[in-house]
């Protein structure tokens, strides 16, 4: 005998299309029915477009998030005997912060369960970067994860299939229906996974600018506020930093080269912006976990964070001393005149790295770990005619032409005293208690 469904998807689509609120039982049913295949992709596509156009109230977004959490398992780290804190970035160009951040925070006795993803399009994936380390593996069991959190203090790994399966299904649908940018859908997607993950504290790095998927700072603030509210409503101590993605972060864009730069930061060096953002996010994560007054920078400078990094890499089968993959081909772009680099747009450089092979156009595509871009100057730097501005790395020289095409007009050399077009300070705002 077939089960009688309590609602009809078409009625709910019409209601949201016409600007009405959906009730809690309606949202619970919709997410469950879509996860088990009763509501078709075509119907959920219509619903996501209605949400994109008409938005959702705070209560509706909370209900959507909780229904997505309820579609799968919830992890519980209370048995670890130490506080947990995690970070999520909305993604950008050269954003390798998770790599130095996890061992830095873990050094202070706060467990960091960093469930990460893969890159799609111009934003790189943390797991893709780490997989350029020989032997390192992203897929580990829950038992291995708990053991590493106890022994090392931190882990970066792939999320298991059991966490928020409704989100996995919905995320793939949004990607192909032009509804990725809907704030209720972004917020519920990110927060359903993070709340289900079971962390006690969460810091959000919400990007704005040319290399972010929300370019407008006000939209980024709205997203950050929505996610902080969802976290607080679920009992997770949550805050957000609004950070600048108008220029690439650091001097590397790719996979293996971003790992190298992360290791430089863990050795007490590295580009000033990567170090500054790593330190700021670490302070937030530690403060939310009950440690507001520790000397974060000292742990980078004295080698403690590096020791934790090496132990974490080894725990997942990686060799922290192995040489990183190097691309077979290089193409150097030099300055055409003396002056000051006044502009370097993040998005075109991200697209160029993707075209070189550092990213993927489809989920199933492989990435080339050695492909990418090394920047030799940042906005504000003095440059000399004939000196390198950036170097492209690829395994196939045929890739250089399209990569160069994408950065055409994306940087500019001016004169001393010209305004620097970098979008302002690295950290523009903080949202949270």
Active site residues: 88, 167, 174, 189, 193
Distance, C-alpha 283 to centroid of its chain: 18
* Bridging pattern class, strands 201-208 and 85-89: parallel
As a whole number of angstroms, the distance between CA 421 and CA 264 comes to 27
Nearest residue to 272 (alpha-carbon basis) of 380, 360, 164: 380
User: Directed axis angle between helix 183-197 and helix 41-54, to 10°?
Assistant: 110
As a whole number of angstroms, the distance between CA 345 and CA 223 comes to 23
Residues with Cβ within 8 Å of 360's Cβ and at least 6 positions away in sequence, in order, are 118, 119, 120, 354, 366, 367
Helix (H) / strand (E) containing 291: none
Q: Do residues 252 and 270 lie in contact, with contact meaning Cβ atoms separated by under 8 Å?
A: no
């619970």: which residue's tokens? 28
């160029």: which residue's tokens? 352
Residue 106 C-beta-side C-alpha neighbours within 13 Å: 28
* Bridging pattern class, strands 411-414 and 339-344: antiparallel
Nearest residue to 335 (alpha-carbon basis) of 326, 344, 327: 344
As a whole number of angstroms, the distance between CA 301 and CA 286 comes to 18
* Bridging pattern class, strands 237-244 and 372-375: unpaired
Residue ranges in 234-268 assigned as alpha helix (H): 256-266
Beta strand extents in 65-180 (DSSP E only): 85-89, 112-116, 154-158
Nearest residue to 52 (alpha-carbon basis) of 178, 172, 150, 182: 182
Residue 186 is encoded by which pair of tokens? 């972004």
- Judged by DSSP in three states, 393 sits in strand
């Amino acid at each position: 005998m077939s089960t009688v469904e309590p609602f009809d998807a078409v009625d709910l689509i019409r209601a949201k299309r016409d600007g009405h609120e959906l009730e809690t039982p309606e949202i619970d049913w919709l997410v469950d029915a879509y996860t088990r295949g009763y509501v078709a992709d075509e119907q959920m596509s219509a619903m996501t477009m209605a949400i994109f156009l008409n938005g959702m109230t705070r209560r509706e977004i909370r209900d959507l998030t909780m229904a997505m959490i309820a579609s799968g398992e919830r992890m519980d780290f209370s048995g670890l005997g130490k506080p947990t804190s995690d970070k999520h970035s909305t993604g950008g160009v050269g954003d390798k912060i998770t790599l130095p951040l996890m061992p830095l925070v873990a050094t202070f006795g706060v467990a960091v369960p960093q469930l990460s993803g893969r890159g799609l399009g111009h934003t790189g994936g943390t797991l893709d970067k780490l997989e350029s380390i020989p032997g390192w593996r992203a897929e580990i069991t829950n038992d291995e994860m708990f053991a590493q959190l106890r022994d090392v203090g931190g882990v970066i790994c792939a999320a298991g299939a059991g966490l928020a399966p409704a989100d996995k299904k919905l995320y793939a649908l949004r990607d192909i229906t032009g509804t990725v940018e809907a704030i209720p859908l972004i917020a519920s997607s990110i927060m359903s996974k993070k709340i289900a993950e079971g962390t006690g504290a969460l810091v959000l790095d919400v990007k704005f600018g040319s290399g972010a998927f929300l370019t407008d700072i006000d939209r980024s603030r709205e997203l950050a506020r929505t996610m902080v509210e969802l976290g607080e409503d679920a009992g997770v101590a949550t805050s957000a930093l609004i950070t600048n993605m108008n220029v690439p972060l650091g001097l590397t864009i790719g996979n293996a080269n971003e790992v190298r730069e992360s290791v430089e930061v863990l050795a007490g060096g590295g580009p000033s912006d990567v170090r500054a953002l790593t330190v700021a996010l670490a302070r937030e994560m530690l403060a939310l976990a009950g440690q507001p007054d520790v000397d974060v920078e000292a742990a980078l400078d004295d080698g403690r964070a590096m020791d934790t990094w090496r132990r974490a890499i080894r725990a997942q089968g990686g060799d922290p001393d192995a040489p990183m993959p190097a691309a077979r081909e290089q193409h150097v772009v030099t300055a055409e005149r003396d002056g000051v680099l006044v502009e370097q747009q993040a998005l075109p450089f991200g697209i160029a790295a993707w075209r070189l092979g550092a990213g993927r156009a489809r989920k199933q595509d492989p990435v080339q770990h050695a492909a990418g871009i090394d920047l030799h100057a940042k906005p504000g730097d003095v440059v000399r005619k004939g000196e390198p501005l950036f170097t492209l790395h690829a395994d196939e020289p045929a890739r250089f032409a399209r990569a160069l095409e994408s950065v055409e007009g994306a940087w500019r050399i001016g004169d001393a005293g010209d305004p620097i077009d970098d979008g302002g300070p690295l950290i523009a705002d903080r949202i949270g208690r």
